[in-house]
Every structure is written in C-alpha cells, then in structure tokens.
C-alpha cells in the first residue's frame, strides 16, 4: 500500500488585502503557513509516502523569507517523505527561486510531462501548463501512460469539457480521457470536488487547505489516497483541516420585534450550521420585519463579534407595514401612516421605510 497526500492552493504569503481587515490578515497569513506545517505533521502521523502539492503553494512572486524557510525546513525535517511540487499560476518560480538549495526530497515539475515511478506498478506523471500556444494536441499526446500501471496525473488548471483549451488555464477533459489515467490530481479550484474522467479514472480537486476569507466556505483540507498498485485500486478520503472555517449562514427574522429575539434566532441558525467561536461567520439577515420593530444591525454585529472570531453581517431584511393595525388610529402616528400609504409615487418597500423613519422620529428615537 502506498499512501499519497494530495493538496493544492495553499496560497501561502497571500496578502489577503481586501479579503480581511489588516490585523486579521496578518494573523491569518501566519495561520496559513502554520496550516501547511500541520499538513506535514499529518503526513508524518499518517505515515504517508509522499505529498503532492498540485499548484499555488505560494500566492505571489514575492515570498517572505520566514514562510519560505518554514516550508523548506519542514521538508528537510522529513526526508522519509517525498514532496512533489507542481507550480500553479500564482507561484511560478517564487518559492524555488528563494531557496539557496532545493531540499533532496523536493521533486519539481516543468512544462513537459515528467514521470516518476513511486513503486512497482505506480506512476506519477505531471506537468506545469505551458503557455497556450504550446498546449495544442501535441502536448496532451505527449502524455503516454502504461495502462498496466496505476497512473496518477498531476496538473494545475480548470478542467473543462471538450478536447481543446480555450482559456489560458483550461485543461480539456476530452484530451485526457482514454489515456489510462486512474487519478487526475488537480489544483486551482478552491473547493473540494471530484468526478469521473472516463470509464477508468476520476479527477479530484482537494480545494484550498484552509479558507482565506469569508468567500471560501465549506469544508477544506486535503485528500489521502491509499493505493494498492497490485490490484490497481485506490481508496480516497478527504481529511478536513483543523483550522478556522468560513461559514455563510442566513437567518430569517420575519415577524421578530426586538434585538434580543433576533439575536436568539441568529445564534440558533449559527448553531445549526455548526459555527465555532474560532470561525469566520457571514450572517445574512432575511425576512419581513414589522416597521416599528426595535432593530439595530450594529448592536447585532457587536453581540455576534463577541462570540466569533470575525463576523460579517449583511442585512437583507425589509420592513413591512400591517395597515389594518393603524386603520382606526386617530393619533398623529395613524394619520402619518395613512398619508404615506396613499402616496402613489412610492413603492411598498419605500412606504415601509418612510413610515419606519417617520415613526422613529415621532417617538424621538435616533434614526
Ligand atoms: Mn491557481
């Protein structure tokens, strides 16, 4: 049995500018490097034979000395594990160029297919995508595999239907089917996905190792592949990384009248989705609220921020007016509501917003 860990899109040293506030970005940057070191720890405890990094290990051309030396030290500390590193579209030359010496157990790829026999009956072949003019049929045809082997093929790009690539990072599935691939180890897509390539093989994106910001929701981690070359079979499982997760949770606040009950509803929604205190949570508030409810997104945001690492709140609630409640109200309030209701130049939503503002002002509340 040969055990291979397949990861991709770690994007170490990502600036995270525009993704997280500056302070959290600086922390998260270190956490991403730490996540790679944890992956190496996992490889050790799982007694993996090899780790395949299918592109975008680093995010930019400029790699920090701290991250580069942490990564290369982790590799050097484990000469018993082979690290196969295929560069993606973000990290061309950035990491390897920063190293004084390539660790002995770091295996690199280039623009033509390189082939490594990992064990009897088990072959890993991979290439970094050459620029589009060099990626015609001849490039794919240069991928020659022995169907009697268990064949892993590593590439970084977007798997697309058909036989030709129209985009610079496209990998045409049609050009790869029927070639004897058992496991197409991909990188580039940041969420974990897998599917069938042809009658024989499957393709798999492990997704990024951990979420960088709010957008990278879902489970993140790496793939563990246990290969039995004699039977030409493999077992695949997804190992979730232990770090922070990003969640987007919508919460329906319809009919609720005060912040306390809204907070309760939001926390129930978050609990249902398994949000943990260390997570990045994006809460989307939805539903129709009574126009005169006591609702403060800032208060809700402050409350949630004390419970979770980082909170983003999107308020999509709308105010609704139950006109029957004020039909016979002779007060200024009732008169105001009837006046706004009769204004044909306003939409129903605008009427509700105007009524809410007006009533809050009448009651001396901050608007
Ligand atoms: Mn990429």
Q: From the CA of 91, how far away is ligand 1's center (Å)?
A: 9
Residue 136 is predicted with a pLDDT of: 76
Confidence of residue 133 (pLDDT cuts 50, 70, 90): low
355, containing H or E segment: helix 348-362
Average pLDDT over residues 133-159: 90
Average pLDDT over residues 319-345: 90
Q: Which of 81-90, 196-205, 278-287, 319-328 shows the lowest per-residue confidence on average (mean pLDDT)?
A: 319-328
Residue 366 is predicted with a pLDDT of: 65
Q: From the CA of 188, how far away is ligand 1's center (Å)?
A: 4
The CB density around residue 344, as the number of other CB atoms within 10 Å, is 6
Nearest to residue 220, comparing CAs of 191, 187, 249? 191
Is the distance from CB of 320 to CB of 291 less than 8 angstroms?
A: yes
Q: From the CA of 208, how far away is ligand 1's center (Å)?
A: 10
Q: From the CA of 41, how far away is ligand 1's center (Å)?
A: 24
Reported as a single tens digit per residue, the pLDDT across 164-191 is 877 889 999 999 999 999 999 999 999 9
Token digits of residue 74: 């982790």
The residue with greater pLDDT, 63 or 148, is 148
> In the chain, count of helices (H) and strands (E)?
9, 19
Residue 135 is predicted with a pLDDT of: 65
Q: What is the average pLDDT score of the chain? A: 93
Confidence of residue 127 (pLDDT cuts 50, 70, 90): very high
Is the distance from CB of 313 to CB of 301 less than 8 angstroms?
A: yes
Residue 165 is predicted with a pLDDT of: 76
What protein residues have CB closer than 5 angstroms to ion ligand 1? 56, 88-89, 188
Reported as a single tens digit per residue, the pLDDT across 244-264 is 999 999 999 999 999 999 999
CA angle 105, 109, 113 (to 5 degrees): 130
State how far Cα 123 lies from the chain centre.
Answer: 30
Q: From the CA of 86, how far away is ligand 1's center (Å)?
A: 11
Residue 179 is predicted with a pLDDT of: 95
159, containing H or E segment: strand 158-160
Q: From the CA of 87, how far away is ligand 1's center (Å)?
A: 9
Q: From the CA of 61, how far away is ligand 1's center (Å)?
A: 13
Q: From the CA of 8, how far away is ligand 1's center (Å)?
A: 9
Q: Which of 240-249, 297-306, 319-328 shows the lowest per-residue confidence on average (mean pLDDT)?
A: 319-328
Q: From the CA of 186, how far away is ligand 1's center (Å)?
A: 10
Distance CA(157)–CA(198), nearest Å, equals 18
**Three-class SS of residue 3?**
strand
**Three-class SS of residue 227?**
strand
Q: From the CA of 221, how far away is ligand 1's center (Å)?
A: 16
Q: From the CA of 158, how far away is ligand 1's center (Å)?
A: 9
pLDDT(332) > 80:
yes
- Against a cut of 0.85, is the pTM above it? yes
Beta-bridged to residue 320, according to DSSP, are 290
Residue entry with tokens 């290969």: 227
Q: From the CA of 345, how far away is ligand 1's center (Å)?
A: 50
Is the distance from CB of 352 to CB of 320 less than 8 angstroms?
A: yes
Average pLDDT over residues 182-207: 97
Q: Which of 29-38, 264-273, 305-314, 320-329 shows the lowest per-residue confidence on average (mean pLDDT)?
A: 320-329
* Domain boundaries, given as residue ranges, for the chain: 2-240, 246-362
Distance CA(150)–CA(156), nearest Å, equals 20
Average pLDDT over residues 109-137: 89
Distance CA(282)–CA(247), nearest Å, equals 6
Average pLDDT over residues 196-225: 96
pLDDT(367) > 70:
no
Q: From the CA of 90, how far away is ligand 1's center (Å)?
A: 6
Q: Which of 89-93, 133-137, 282-286 shows the lowest per-residue confidence on average (mean pLDDT)?
A: 133-137
Q: From the CA of 56, how far away is ligand 1's center (Å)?
A: 6
Residue 119 is predicted with a pLDDT of: 96
CA angle 352, 357, 358 (to 5 degrees): 95
Q: From the CA of 136, how far away is ligand 1's center (Å)?
A: 20
Q: From the CA of 89, how far away is ligand 1's center (Å)?
A: 5
Report how far apart, in Å, the C-alpha atoms of 199 and of each of 24, 99, 149, 163, 202 are. Answer: 46, 42, 16, 17, 9
Is the distance from CB of 314 to CB of 283 less than 8 angstroms?
A: yes
Q: From the CA of 128, how far away is ligand 1's center (Å)?
A: 11
Proportion of the chain above pLDDT 70, given as a percent = 98
Radius of gyration of the chain (CA): 27
Average pLDDT over residues 189-212: 96
Q: From the CA of 337, how far away is ligand 1's center (Å)?
A: 55
pLDDT(209) > 70:
yes
Token digits of residue 273: 């989705």
Q: From the CA of 205, how far away is ligand 1's center (Å)?
A: 11
CATH superfamily of domain region 2-240: Metallo-dependent phosphatases (3.60.21.10)
Distance CA(34)–CA(10), nearest Å, equals 11
Q: From the CA of 305, how far away is ligand 1's center (Å)?
A: 32
Q: From the CA of 143, how far away is ligand 1's center (Å)?
A: 21
- Read off the DSSP letter of residue 89: S
Residue 131 is predicted with a pLDDT of: 77
Nearest to residue 152, comparing CAs of 333, 289, 4, 270? 4
Distance CA(186)–CA(125), nearest Å, equals 12
Interior/surface letters 1-37, b for 16+ CB within 10 angstroms, e for the rest: ebbbbbbbbbbbbbebeebbeeebbeebbeebbebbe
Q: From the CA of 254, how far away is ligand 1's center (Å)?
A: 41
Residue 20 is predicted with a pLDDT of: 92
pLDDT(341) > 90:
yes
Average pLDDT over residues 112-137: 89
């Amino acid at each position: 049995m040969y055990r291979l860990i397949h990861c991709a899109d770690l994007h170490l040293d990502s600036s995270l500018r525009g993704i997280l506030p500056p302070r959290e970005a600086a922390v998260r940057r270190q956490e991403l490097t730490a996540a790679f070191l944890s992956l190496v720890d996992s490889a050790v405890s799982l007694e993996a034979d090899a780790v395949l990094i299918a592109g975008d290990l680093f995010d930019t051309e400029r790699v920090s000395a701290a991250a580069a030396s942490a990564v290369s030290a982790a590799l050097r500390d484990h000469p018993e594990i082979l690290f196969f590193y295929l560069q993606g579209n973000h990290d061309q030359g950035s990491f390897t160029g920063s190293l004084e010496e390539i660790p002995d157990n770091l295996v690199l790829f280039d623009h033509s297919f390189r082939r490594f026999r990992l064990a009897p009956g088990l072959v890993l072949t991979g290439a970094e995508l050459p620029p589009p003019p060099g990626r015609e049929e001849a490039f794919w045809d240069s991928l020659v595999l022995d169907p009697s082997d268990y064949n892993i093929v590593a590439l970084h790009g977007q798997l697309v239907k058909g036989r030709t690539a129209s985009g610079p990072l496209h990998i045409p599935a049609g050009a790869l089917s029927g070639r004897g691939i058992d496991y197409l180890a991909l990188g580039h897509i940041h969420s974990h996905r897998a599917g069938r390539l042809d009658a024989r093989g499957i393709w798999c994106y492990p997704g990024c190792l951990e979420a960088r910001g709010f957008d990278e929701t879902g489970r993140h981690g790496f793939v563990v592949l246990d290969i039995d070359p004699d039977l030409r079979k493999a077992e695949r499982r997804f190992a979730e990384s232990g770090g922070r997760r990003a969640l987007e949770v919508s919460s329906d606040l319809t009919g609720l009248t005060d912040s306390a009950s809204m907070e309760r509803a939001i926390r129930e929604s978050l609990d249902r989705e398994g949000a943990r205190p260390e997570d990045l949570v994006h809460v989307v508030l939805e539903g129709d609220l009574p126009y005169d409810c006591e609702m403060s997104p800032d208060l809700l945001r402050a409350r949630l921020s004390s419970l979770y690492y980082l909170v983003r709140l999107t308020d999509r609630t709308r105010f609704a007016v139950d006109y029957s409640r004020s039909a016979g109200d002779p007060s200024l309030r009732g008169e105001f509501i009837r006046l706004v209701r009769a204004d044909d130049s306003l939409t129903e939503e605008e009427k509700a917003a105007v009524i809410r503002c007006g009533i809050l002002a009448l009651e001396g509340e901050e608007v």
